[in-house]
C-alpha cells in the first residue's frame, strides 16, 4: 500500500484497495512515509521550510524602470523586486505562483501553449498589480515548452523586456489528464507526458542557464517535482511517475555540470507543492481511498503559493554556493510530519472529512 504525497498540481497515486477500518489507512500512510522522526532533511531545507521567518536580500542598487523596461541588476547582488519566469502559468499552481509574486511586487513572465489564455491571464495579473499598487510588470508569452525555438523565444523575450531573469520556475507538467495503465495508454498521451515533463524541463533549464550565466547577478532555477519523485510506484500513471523520478537525477547532474563549467552564479533547486486541488488531482478522485487522502492532505493552489513564494524569494540569501558546489535547496509544502498530523487528526477527530469531495 503506497501513499504518494507530492505532485505538481497535486498528482497522486491512490491504490484501488477498499478499506473498512481507519487503522488500515493509518498503516498505509505509515508504511510509505516512514516514522515521522525519519523525515528527510536535506542540507538547506530547514531554512527553506521554516514558517514565519522572513529574510530580505540586500541590494546595492534597486531596479529602476526605464523606457518600459526594468534595469538589470547586472554586477550587483541579486535582490527584490525579482524578475520571474513561470512555465505553465495560466492555471493551477503556476497561475497561483504568478499571482503571489505580483502581490510581492515582483515582475512576472507567464506562459502556456494557448495565445488566448496567455493574453487573458496577463490582463488579469496586470489588473491585480494595479489594484495592489505593487508596480509589478506582467508579460505573457505563448510557448510550447516542448519546442526548442519557443523556449528560446520565451527566455529571450523575458530578458529583453525585464532586463534580467532572476528566478525561473519549470512548472509546466502533464499526466494527459488521464489515469490508465501503461498497457491501456495511448501513444500520443505517453509522448505528451514525457515531452512536457522531461524535455520541457530540460529545454527551460538550458535557456535559463544561457540567460543567467551572462548576468552579473546570476539567477536561480526551480524544478517542480511530483508523484514518483521518491521512487515509489505510481500505478495508473506510470509514465508520469517515471518522468518525475528522473528530475531528481537531472538536478544532481546539473549541479555537477555547473561546477564543472565553473558557473558559480546560477543555482538549481527542487520545489514540491504537495497535493493541490487542480484538474490533475481531481480527475483521479474516483475511489474511496483517493477521496480520503484528497480531503486529508490537499490544499488550494493559492494556499500552496502563499507558502512557497516567500521561501523561493529567500533562496538568493539561503543558497550561497549556487553552481559552484552548493547543494540544491528542497522547498516542500507538504512535509512528512505535516502529512502524518493531518491524517491522524482525520482518523481521530474527523477533521477535514468531506472538505473537497464527498466520501
The stretches of the chain forming alpha helices (DSSP H) are: 22-33, 45-49, 92-103, 115-132, 148-162, 187-194, 200-212, 238-260, 279-282, 288-297, 301-318, 336-349
> What is the grid cell recorded at 165?
531573469
DSSP string for residues in 120-177: HHHHHHHHHHHHHT----EEEEE--TT-HHHHHHHHHHHHHHHS---EEEE-----TT
How far apart are alpha carbons 301 and 240 in whole angstroms?
20
240 is catalytic: yes
How far apart are alpha carbons 146 and 50 in whole angstroms?
35
Helix 22-33 / helix 336-349 crossing angle, nearest 10 deg: 170
Cα-to-chain-centroid distance, residue 122: 20
How far apart are alpha carbons 287 and 15 in whole angstroms?
9
Check 177, 179, 240, 340 and give the catalytic one. 240
Q: Which residues are designated catalytic?
A: 240
Amino acid at each position: 500500500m503506497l501513499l504518494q504525497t507530492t505532485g505538481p498540481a497535486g498528482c497522486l497515486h491512490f491504490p484501488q484497495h477498499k478499506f473498512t477500518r481507519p487503522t488500515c489507512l493509518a498503516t498505509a500512510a505509515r508504511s510509505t512515509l516512514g516514522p515521522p522522526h525519519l523525515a528527510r532533511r536535506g542540507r538547506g531545507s530547514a531554512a527553506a521550510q521554516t514558517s514565519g521567518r522572513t529574510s530580505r536580500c540586500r541590494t546595492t542598487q534597486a531596479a529602476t524602470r526605464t523606457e518600459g523596461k526594468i534595469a538589470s541588476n547586472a554586477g550587483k547582488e541579486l535582490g527584490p523586486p525579482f524578475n520571474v519566469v513561470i512555465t505553465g502559468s495560466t492555471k493551477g499552481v503556476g497561475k497561483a505562483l504568478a499571482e503571489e509574486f505580483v502581490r510581492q511586487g515582483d515582475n512576472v513572465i507567464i506562459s502556456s501553449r494557448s495565445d488566448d489564455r496567455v493574453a487573458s491571464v496577463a490582463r488579469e495579473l496586470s489588473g491585480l498589480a494595479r489594484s495592489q499598487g505593487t508596480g509589478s510588470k506582467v508579460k505573457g508569452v505563448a510557448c510550447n515548452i516542448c519546442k526548442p525555438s519557443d523556449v528560446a523565444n520565451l527566455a529571450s523575450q523575458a530578458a529583453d523586456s525585464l532586463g534580467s531573469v532572476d528566478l525561473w520556475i519549470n512548472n509546466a507538467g502533464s499526466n494527459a489528464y488521464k489515469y490508465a495503465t501503461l498497457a491501456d495508454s495511448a501513444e500520443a498521451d505517453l509522448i505528451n507526458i514525457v515531452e512536457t515533463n522531461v524535455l520541457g524541463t530540460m529545454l527551460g533549464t538550458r535557456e535559463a542557464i544561457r540567460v543567467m550565466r551572462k548576468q552579473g547577478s546570476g539567477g536561480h532555477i526551480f524544478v517542480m517535482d511530483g508523484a514518483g519523485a521518491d521512487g515509489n510506484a505510481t500505478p495508473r500513471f506510470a509514465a508520469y511517475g517515471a518522468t518525475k523520478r528522473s528530475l531528481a537525477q537531472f538536478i544532481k547532474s546539473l549541479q555537477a555540470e555547473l561546477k564543472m563549467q565553473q558557473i558559480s552564479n546560477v543555482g538549481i533547486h527542487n520545489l514540491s507543492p504537495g497535493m493541490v486541488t487542480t484538474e490533475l488531482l481531481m480527475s483521479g478522485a474516483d475511489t474511496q481511498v483517493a477521496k480520503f487522502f484528497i480531503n486529508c492532505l490537499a490544499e488550494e493552489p493559492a494556499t500552496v503559493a502563499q507558502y512557497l513564494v516567500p521561501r523561493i524569494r529567500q533562496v538568493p540569501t539561503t543558497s550561497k554556493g549556487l553552481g559552484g558546489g552548493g547543494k540544491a535547496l528542497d522547498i516542500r509544502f507538504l512535509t512528512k510530519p505535516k502529512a502524518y498530523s493531518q491524517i491522524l487528526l482525520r482518523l481521530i477527530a474527523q477533521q477535514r472529512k468531506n472538505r473537497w469531495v464527498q466520501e
